[in-house]
Amino acid sequence: GLYDLTLRALVEGLLGALPYKDRALAKLLAEVPVVTSHTLTLVENLCHGNLEAVAACKDKENTGEASTLGLATMWDLILQRPPLRPHCLGVVLRCTVSTDEGLRGKAIRLVANKLFPQAALAERIQE
């Protein structure tokens, strides 16, 4: 619908205009009424450094910073959007077994240092 198209345009505009270190994407997704499945897919592609699938990304070579942005955004969604928590946590946990060593290390550190200490998440992570 129109909302999904508008949100997609905003997200892609941010990704095309700002450096990956900018936290505007996470701030936007914390404030919008609904995070659509298409937007979640974009963030998941960032996590995996699959920048060809995120057409708006201007820096297609810097997959390390893109995956950091994707994981940080997933962390924010896990904390701030309880209905999205199972999906986003699943994405992060899948990243912990990635064949990409850099992504795997970042995801493991995120789970061990930020997510596991959260009592509400520890049980789900252990499953």
The residue written with tokens 């936007």 in the block is 28
Instruction: Name the packing angle between helices 63-80 and 101-110 (round to 10°).
Output: 20
The tally of domains found in the chain comes to 1
Q: Give tens-digit pLDDT for 50-67.
A: 877 666 666 667 788 889
**pTM for the structure as a whole:** 0.90
Domain that residue 34 falls in: 2-126
Tell me, what DSSP letter sits at residue 97?
A: T
What does each of the 127 residues of the chain score in pLDDT, given as a tens digit?
999 999 999 998 888 888 888 889 999 999 999 999 999 999 999 998 887 766 666 666 778 888 999 999 999 999 999 999 999 999 999 999 999 999 999 999 999 999 988 878 888 888 8
